[in-house]
Structure formats: structure tokens, C-alpha cells
């Protein structure tokens, strides 16, 4: 089944919105701290049941789906016509938005993964020596990661529009250039 640019953009947008929603809900559901239960020489932390870790991983998963489809959409051969990568990267604007989309996707992944793993670590290792408080993951990182995830998708969509323009320009050049033979450019 051949996918169109509209379908790719809908997949990128929908998965990033889901990543955003899961990240914001994970941030809001995260407890401020655990309840310390003192023992002999140790403090055991009891944390309330919360879906923060699961929601954090879901947010990360949908960010990865958005990023993979964003990358795939740029180099996908629409209508059976592929374009050389050099033709896409000739455009400075495309290159800038492509790099910003990659950077923001990586930053969003880091901002989502760090507190999720930290929260999971705190839940698994809840016995402390010489400690009276029960920490949780840093507040604000999951929400920030959710917003950067949404920003990343917007940059992927702009890069997709620029890639579509570069694709159209490339095929116009190929059709107009008398030096081409059967749709191939000769050096």
C-alpha cells in the first residue's frame, strides 16, 4: 500500500499529539514524594500507586513513532518516484528544519526518558539507609518533554512540506533538462 504525504503527516501529527497527552498526564499524576516508613537502620519508602512510569514510556513510544514516520516521510518514493538525497539537502531551509527536527526529537526523548527511568528506579529501590525522605523524579521534565515532543512533530511537518517542494522542483528540472535521458541526470 502506497502512502501519501497527507497520510504521513496525519500519522506524525496524531502520534505526537498522543505523546504530548501521555507526557502531560504522566507529569500531572506523578506524586510529589513517597511516604517514609522508618525501620531499624533503614527507611522504606512507600509510593502511592500511579501510572507515571507507564505513561512516560507510552509518551516516549509515540514520540519514536512520530520521529520514525517523520524521517521515513522525507525519503519515501511517492507515486513510485524516488529522489536523490542530495537533491533534498541542496535546500538550506530543508537542511535547517531537518536538523532542528532531529535535535528536538532527541531532546524530547531525553526529557521523557530521564524522569521515567528515575521514577522507575525509585519505585524499584525503595529501601534507603540514613535517609529520611522519599524522592521522586524531578518535577517538570515529563511535561517539558511532552511539549518538545509536540514541537518536534511540527518541525517534521515543516521539513516534509519543504521536502515536497524540493521533490517537485527536482522533477521539474529533470523534465525540462535536455541532457537527461529517461528521467536520469547525466554528469
For the stretch 30-76, pLDDT in tens is: 888 888 888 888 888 888 888 999 999 999 999 999 999 999 999 88
The reported pLDDT for the residue numbered 187 is 46
Give the pLDDT confidence score for residue 184 in this predicted structure: 55
Q: Is residue 31 part of a domain?
A: yes
Task: Give a yes or no: residue 22 inside a domain.
Answer: yes
Residue 179 belongs to a domain: no
In a domain, residue 105? The reply is: yes
Count of other CB atoms within 10 angstroms of residue 116: 26
Summarize pLDDT for 72-128 with one digit per residue, the tens: 999 888 878 788 888 888 888 999 999 999 999 999 999 999 999 999 998 888 887
Residue 143 lies in a domain: yes
Please give the pLDDT value at position 186. 47
Note the pLDDT of residue 181.
52
Confidence tier at 175 by pLDDT (50, 70, 90) = confident
Q: What mean pLDDT comes out for the span 129-158? A: 89
- Stated pTM of the model: 0.85
Residue 178 in any domain: the answer is no
Count up the domains in the chain and report the number.
1
Distances (CA, A) of 170 to 86, 97, 114: 11, 19, 42
Answer yes or no: is 108 within a domain: yes
Segment 141-147 shows an average pLDDT of 95
* 118 occurs within a structural domain: yes
**Domain assignment of residue 103, given as a range:** 5-166
Amino acid at each position: 500500500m502506497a502512502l501519501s504525504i497527507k497520510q504521513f503527516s496525519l500519522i506524525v501529527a496524531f502520534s505526537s499529539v498522543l505523546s504530548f497527552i501521555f507526557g502531560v498526564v504522566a507529569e500531572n499524576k506523578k506524586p510529589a514524594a513517597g511516604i517514609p516508613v522508618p525501620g531499624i537502620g533503614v527507611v522504606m519508602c512507600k509510593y502511592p500507586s500511579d501510572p507515571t512510569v507507564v505513561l512516560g514510556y507510552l509518551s516516549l513510544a509515540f514520540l519514536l513513532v512520530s520521529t520514525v514516520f517523520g524521517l521515513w516521510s522525507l525519503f519515501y518514493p511517492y507515486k513510485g518516484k524516488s529522489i536523490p538525497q542530495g537533491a533534498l539537502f541542496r535546500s538550506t531551509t530543508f537542511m535547517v528544519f531537518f536538523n532542528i527536527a532531529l535535535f528536538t526529537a532527541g531532546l524530547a526523548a531525553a526529557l521523557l526518558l530521564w524522569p521515567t527511568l528515575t521514577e522507575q528506579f525509585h519505585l524499584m529501590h525503595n529501601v534507603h539507609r540514613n535517609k529520611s525522605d522519599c524522592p521522586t523524579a524531578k518535577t517538570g521534565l515529563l511535561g517539558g518533554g511532552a511539549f518538545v515532543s509536540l514541537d518536534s512533530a511540527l518541525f517534521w511537518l515543516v521539513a516534509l512540506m519543504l521536502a515536497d517542494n524540493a521533490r517537485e522542483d527536482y522533477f521539474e528540472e529533470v523534465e525540462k533538462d535536455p541532457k537527461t535521458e529517461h528521467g536520469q541526470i547525466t554528469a
